[in-house]
Amino acid sequence: MSSPPPVIHRGLAGVVVDTTEISTVLQETNSLTYRGYPVQELAARRSFEEVAHLLWYGELPDADQLRDFQARERALRPLDRTTSELFARLPATCHPMDVLRTAVSFLGAEDPTEDDGSLTANRAKSMTLLAKLPTLVAADQRRRRGLGPIPPDPGLGYAENFFHMCFGTVPDPDAVRCFEISLTLYAEHSFNASTFTARVVTSTLSDLYSAVTAAIGALKGPLHGGANEAVMHMLDEIDDPERAEDWLDEALAAQRKIMGFGHRVYKNGDSRVPIMQNALDLLVARAADPETTRRATLHAALRHAVLKRKGIHPNLDYPAGLAYRLMGFDTPTFTPIFVMSRITGWTAHISEQLAHNTLIRPLASYAGPGQRAVPAAVG
């Protein structure tokens, strides 16, 4: 008697593959907690550095722990000569996610930390990446504008320093706060595709830099982190708020995916969107210029049209894309900013995977030709 055909879970949809203590996404209540704390409260009351500490160590830092965390992060921000040279050799036209993927791989080759896979060694590597990623992202954005890098300022916090390295100035506290909120919201989201990629690589007992390099590759795709950039291209393409509905009809008729909408886990709205939308509304109100108002009107018109036509809600990438534009970042910088934040979640998961490791190796149901004889060689 033959066994029943296996149940196939395409895309691992609905499959629970492990436990985690880092975060939970509850689709029923549209809620998200990091180590038990609601992300809304963390975004409202805590800095991104505190959130990073929470994700890595399981608890929010006390004053001494925060000072120590900040001192270590600030000291590691500068790039060494060889990394700067490598960076300069990459074509200025290459996508910044390719720059990050290459740079992280290179940092791994250079890192003198003994690669024993211990928690201590991995925490040191995680801090190195947290500190250096913004320096790379900022230098790359300036390079696209034909400008030289601005060195990090150890007197500034993580978010402020990023603005300083991008533009040579730090905007008013409201804009910095909106950016910091986006970093907190992007930091962690359970077993999403890039985090799962990092866990798969880690499960082979490979090293942290390899896992992060692979995760950057997974995040780049427009069905995942690349969507924040794709949202901006889409809004640029539509351009006119009056065109939103017609554009949507044409896009749906052409079976296009509407970027920044839909989610594998949340079917009634992404828990992070209201917080990011509030931040975006604040940026729009501050700008108070006709072009920003027009963009915000288009953004809202498309959101309403997608909900009306398809019943699909926006995900975090939808408000984040436009918010980053209003903060002055160029579109190719959007997904790298996601990396600057998600490095915290990825590396927390790498440590967790190692603490209870099992090789991740699912099965597939074979659907190819039946067994056949190899024909004689030709000639």
- Active site positions, annotated: 263, 317
**What whole-number distance in Å separates Cα of residue 240 and Cα of residue 236?**
9
127/259 with CB nearer ligand ACO: 259
Quick check: 307 binds ligand ACO (CB under 6 A)?
no
Helices (H) and strands (E) in the chain, counts: 16, 3
Q: From the list ligand OAA, ligand ACO, none, pick the one residue 261 interacts with, judged by a Cβ distance below 5 to 8 Å according to partner type.
A: ligand ACO
Read off the amino acid at residue 314: P
Q: Which stretch binds ligand OAA (CB under 6 A): 50-58, 89-97, 145-153, 263-271?
A: 263-271
Quick note: the x/- pattern for ligand OAA over 315-354, rule CB under 6 A, is xx--------------------------------------
Cα gap 20→35, rounded to integer Å: 10
Nearer to ligand OAA, 190 or 278 (CB): 190
Q: How far is CA 100 from CA 140, 336, 344, in A?
A: 9, 7, 15
The residue whose Cβ lies closest to ligand ACO is 262
286 binds, among ligand ACO, ligand OAA, none (CB under 5 to 8 A by kind): none
Counting contacts by CB under 6 A, is residue 312 touching ligand ACO? yes
Distance from first CA to last CA of the chain, Å, rounded? 44
Size of the site for ligand OAA (CB under 6 A): 7
Q: Which two tokens stand for residue 11?
A: 């895309």
Binding mask 255-274 for ligand ACO (x = CB under 6 A): --xxxxxxxx----------
CB 283 within 8 A of CB 326: yes
Question: Is the CB of residue 317 less than 8 Å from the CB of residue 219?
Answer: no
Interface residue with ligand OAA, options 170, 232, 265, 350 (CB under 6 A): 265
Q: Which of ligand ACO, ligand OAA, none has residue 200 at its interface (CB below 5 to 8 Å by kind)?
A: none
CB of 227 to ligand OAA, least distance (A): 9
Return all residues near 127 (Cβ < 8 A) that are at least 6 apart: 72, 73, 76
| Shortest separation between residue 311's beta carbon and ligand OAA, angstroms | 19
Residue 223 amino acid letter: L
If you ran DSSP here, which 8-state letter would residue 226 be given? T
d(CA 130, CA 159): 12
In the chain, the amino acid numbered 31 is: S
- Residue 15 CB, shortest distance to ligand ACO, in Å, is 13
Size of the site for ligand ACO (CB under 6 A): 18
The whole-angstrom separation of Cα 288 and Cα 107 is 42
Closest residue to ligand OAA in the complex (CB): 192
Place of tokens 């040191």: 124
In the complex with ligand ACO, which residue's Cβ is closer, 11 or 369?
A: 11
- Nearest C-alpha neighbor of 266 from the set 347, 334, 190: 190
Q: 3-state DSSP call for residue 25?
A: strand
Q: Which does 271 bind (CB under 5 to 8 A by kind): ligand OAA, ligand ACO, none?
A: none
Q: Which two tokens stand for residue 175?
A: 């804009």
**Do the Cβ atoms of 330 and 141 come closer than 8 Å?**
yes
The smaller minimum CB distance to ligand OAA, of residues 151 and 274, is found at 274
Q: What residues from 220 to 259 belong to the interface with ligand ACO (CB under 6 A)?
A: 223-225, 227, 257-259
Q: Structure tokens of 109?
A: 């080759």
Please, what is the minimum distance in Å from the beta carbon of residue 312 to ligand ACO? Answer: 5
* Smallest separation, CB 189 to ligand OAA (Å): 3
For residue 24, the cross-strand partners are: 33
In the set 101, 189, 295, 299, which binds ligand OAA (CB under 6 A)?
189
* Among the residue ranges 85-93, 137-145, 229-237, 260-268, the one whose residues contact ligand OAA (CB under 6 A): 260-268
Q: Which of 264, 287, 297, 300 binds ligand OAA (CB under 6 A)?
A: 264
Sign of CA pseudo-dihedral 333, 109, 128, 191: positive
Q: Where on the chain is the footprint of ligand OAA (CB under 6 A)?
A: 189, 192, 263-265, 315-316
Q: Where on the chain is the footprint of ligand ACO (CB under 6 A)?
A: 11, 223-225, 227, 257-264, 310, 312, 315-317
